[in-house]
């Protein structure tokens, strides 16, 4: 009997949609059993949300004080301890999963398969390489556990309506004491998480300053959108780097992506390939982003944003 264990991503109270997307990937592997592990200092609320995902057999809660901040150094040995009962360990290819799973793979002495975008067979997967410009098919060696991250932009969230069993896992694992949580700083405020938002507004170098980003935040708040940025905007200090979209930032798949003052470098486009509709506003009609945009508007963002705000305000 083959089993898949998914590591739940959450913020302490809400299960991230990325977990439901891992369930969809797991379903396409065709294993006999899909379980989800929840690590926290208080697991109940998250476990209930995970149990509602359809196709999941069991939720294993691992509750201990060290799990309150989900540091890789603490989670990895616990995940590795649970691995004995499974053939696959999956986590989303988000900042969370990318932090934790390489440490798990190292503890289990296997290579990690990163960014699964489709399942071709029980041990064969497709994943992007060269900033998404090529797709490679990789086959994991037989008889070894598969440790992998799932490209969340490639999967829809699994439906809800399930009622998995919830059991408390007892793990006798000694955790290293050399690393501890100090503080968490986020720059994005209360706006929707970039990787879960259905609308994302993004600003590039063309926004020209940290202060000017305020007009983008205001517009985003009016329509409940997340706000992203190009690397040039991050490097210039206009926004924090957790807002970066692209090859070395976040890979996102909103229904609607609106790019303001972004030229459309390949490394940026890698991050938005799976967006439903891409709208570009750029004053240069030759900007490469117009080649991939579904809707393009040649114009100055400082004229376009106030006009959009005015129309929304009506
Ligand atoms: C290894 C590597 C990894 C990288 N990873 C990433 C990544 O993850 N994400 C990423 O974004 N980039 C990444 N880059 C950088 C990428 O190559 C580009 O340099 C970057 O995306 C450019 O950002 P930009 O479009 O904001 O700036 P620019 O290329 O300078 O474009 C600014 C655009 O704004 C327009 N503009 C200016 N003023 C206005 C105005 N008032 N109204 C309307 N339009 C205006 C201009 O016409 C121009 O098209 C990476 C590069 C490398 C080498």
**pLDDT tens digits in sequence order for the chain, 314 residues long:** 689 999 999 999 999 999 999 999 999 999 899 999 999 999 999 999 999 999 999 999 999 999 999 999 999 999 999 999 999 999 999 989 999 999 999 999 999 999 999 999 999 999 999 877 899 999 999 889 999 999 998 999 999 999 999 999 988 899 998 998 998 876 656 788 888 899 999 999 999 999 999 999 999 999 999 999 999 999 999 999 999 999 999 999 999 999 999 999 999 999 998 899 999 999 999 999 999 999 999 999 999 999 999 988 75
* pTM for this model (two decimals): 0.83
Q: Indicate if ligand 1 lies below 6 Å from the C-beta of 132.
A: no
Residue of the CA atom closest to atom 11 of ligand 1: 230
Q: Indicate if ligand 1 lies below 6 Å from the C-beta of 283.
A: yes
Q: Under a CB-based contact definition with an 8 Å cutoff, are residues 194 and 243 in contact?
A: yes
Q: Indicate if ligand 1 lies below 6 Å from the C-beta of 206.
A: yes
Q: Indicate if ligand 1 lies below 6 Å from the C-beta of 205.
A: yes
Q: Indicate if ligand 1 lies below 6 Å from the C-beta of 300.
A: yes
- The torsion angles phi and psi of 219, rounded to 5 degrees, stand at -65, -45
Closest ligand 1 atom, residue 131 Cα: 3
Q: Under a CB-based contact definition with an 8 Å cutoff, are residues 149 and 97 in contact?
A: yes
Can you tell me the distance from the alpha carbon of 80 to that of 108, in angstroms, rounded to the nearest whole number?
Answer: 7
Residue 81, pLDDT score:
96
Q: Indicate if ligand 1 lies below 6 Å from the C-beta of 165.
A: no
Residue 187, pLDDT score:
62
Residue of the CA atom closest to atom 47 of ligand 1: 284
Point out which residues pair with 272 in neighbouring strands.
none
Q: Indicate if ligand 1 lies below 6 Å from the C-beta of 287.
A: yes
Can you tell me the distance from the alpha carbon of 144 to that of 105, in angstroms, rounded to the nearest whole number?
Answer: 11
Q: Indicate if ligand 1 lies below 6 Å from the C-beta of 263.
A: yes
- The torsion angles phi and psi of 256, rounded to 5 degrees, stand at -135, 125
**Dist. CA 262 → ligand 1 center (Å):** 5
Can you tell me the distance from the alpha carbon of 133 to that of 295, in angstroms, rounded to the nearest whole number?
Answer: 23
Q: Counting runs of H as helices and runs of E as strands, what totals does the chain give?
A: 9, 15
Residue 263, pLDDT score:
98
Question: How many C-alpha atoms does 164 have within 13 Å on its Cβ side?
Answer: 26
Residue 314, pLDDT score:
58
Q: Indicate if ligand 1 lies below 6 Å from the C-beta of 270.
A: no
Which of 133, 194, 241, 265 has the most ligand 1 atoms within 8 A of CB, as the residue to mutate? 265
Which of 261, 303, 304, 308 has the most ligand 1 atoms within 8 A of CB, as the residue to mutate? 261
Can you tell me the distance from the alpha carbon of 275 to that of 298, in angstroms, rounded to the nearest whole number?
Answer: 21
Residue 86, pLDDT score:
97
Of 271, 273, 227, nearest in space to 249 by CA: 271
Residue of the CA atom closest to atom 4 of ligand 1: 267
């Amino acid at each position: 009997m083959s089993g898949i264990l998914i590591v739940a991503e959450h913020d302490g109270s809400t299960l991230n949609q990325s977990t439901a997307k891992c369930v969809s990937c797991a379903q396409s592997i065709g294993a006999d059993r899909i379980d989800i592990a929840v690590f926290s200092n208080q697991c109940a609320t998250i476990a209930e949300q995970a149990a509602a995902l359809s196709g999941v057999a069991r939720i294993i809660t691992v509750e201990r004080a060290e799990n309150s901040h989900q540091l890789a150094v603490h989670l990895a040995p616990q995940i590795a301890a649970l691995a004995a009962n499974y053939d696959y360990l999956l986590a989303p290819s988000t900042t969370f999963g990318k932090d934790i799973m390489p440490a798990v793979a190292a503890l289990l002495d296997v290579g990690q398969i990163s960014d699964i975008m489709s399942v071709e067979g029980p041990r064969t997967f497709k994943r992007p390489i060269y900033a998404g410009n090529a797709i490679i098919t990789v086959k994991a060696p037989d008889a070894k556990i598969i440790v992998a991250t799932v490209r969340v932009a490639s999967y829809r969230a699994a439906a809800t309506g399930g009622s998995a069993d919830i059991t408390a896992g007892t793990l006798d694992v000694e955790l290293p004491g050399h690393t501890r949580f100090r503080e968490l700083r986020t720059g994005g405020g209360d706006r929707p998480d970039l990787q879960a938002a259905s609308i994302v507004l993004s600003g590039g170098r063309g926004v020209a300053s940290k202060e000017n980003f305020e007009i983008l935040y205001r517009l985003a708040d009016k329509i409940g959108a997340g706000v992203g940025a190009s690397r040039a905007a991050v490097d210039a200090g206009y926004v924090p780097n957790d807002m970066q979209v692209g090859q070395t930032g976040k890979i996102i798949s909103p229904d609607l992506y609106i790019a303001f003052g972004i030229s459309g470098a390949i490394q940026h486009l890698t991050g938005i390939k799976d967006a439903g509709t891409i709208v570009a506003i750029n004053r240069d009609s030759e900007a490469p982003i117009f080649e991939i945009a579904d809707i393009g508007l040649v114009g100055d963002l400082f004229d376009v944003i106030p006009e959009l705000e005015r129309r929304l305000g009506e």
